[in-house]
Amino acid sequence: MKRRTQLFVFGVILVLGVILISLTVNQVKAQQDIVGELQMKLLQQNVPLKSIKISNYFPLGIEVVLESQSTGDLVSPDDPLFVGVVQREIVSARMRGSKIERVQIAINNRQGKEITRADLSVDPALDNTAIVPSNVSDDALETAVRSQLLVGRLVLDDFTIVHTEEGGQLIQLRFTAPEIADLNQVLPGLVTQFSSELQQLKKEQGAQIPGYSLEVFDKNGEPLLKYSAVYEASREKSTWWMANGVSQDWFPHPMPTTAP
Q: pLDDT band at residue 23, thresholds of 50, 70 and 90?
A: very low
- Does residue 260 have a pLDDT over 50? no
- Does residue 198 have a pLDDT over 90? yes
Task: Read off the pLDDT of residues 66-118 as tens digits, 9 standing for 90 and up.
Answer: 999 999 999 999 999 999 999 999 999 999 989 999 999 999 999 999 999 99
User: Is the domain defined by 130-242 classed in CATH 3.30.300?
Assistant: yes
Q: Which pLDDT does position 136 carry in this prediction?
A: 96
The residues that bridge with 118 in the sheet, in sequence order, are 105
In angstroms, the CA 257 to CA 115 distance is 7
Kindly report the pTM of this predicted structure: 0.85
Task: Read off the pLDDT of residues 156-197 as tens digits, 9 standing for 90 and up.
Answer: 999 999 999 889 999 999 999 999 999 999 998 899 889 999
**62: helix, strand or coil:** strand
Q: Which pLDDT does position 248 carry in this prediction?
A: 83
Region for 112 from its dihedrals, namely left if φ exceeds 0, alpha if ψ lies in -120 to 50, beta otherwise: left
- Tell me how far the alpha carbon of residue 37 is from its chain's centroid: 16
**What are the residue boundaries of the structural domains of the chain, listed by start?**
2-127, 130-242
238 or 18: which leads in pLDDT? 238
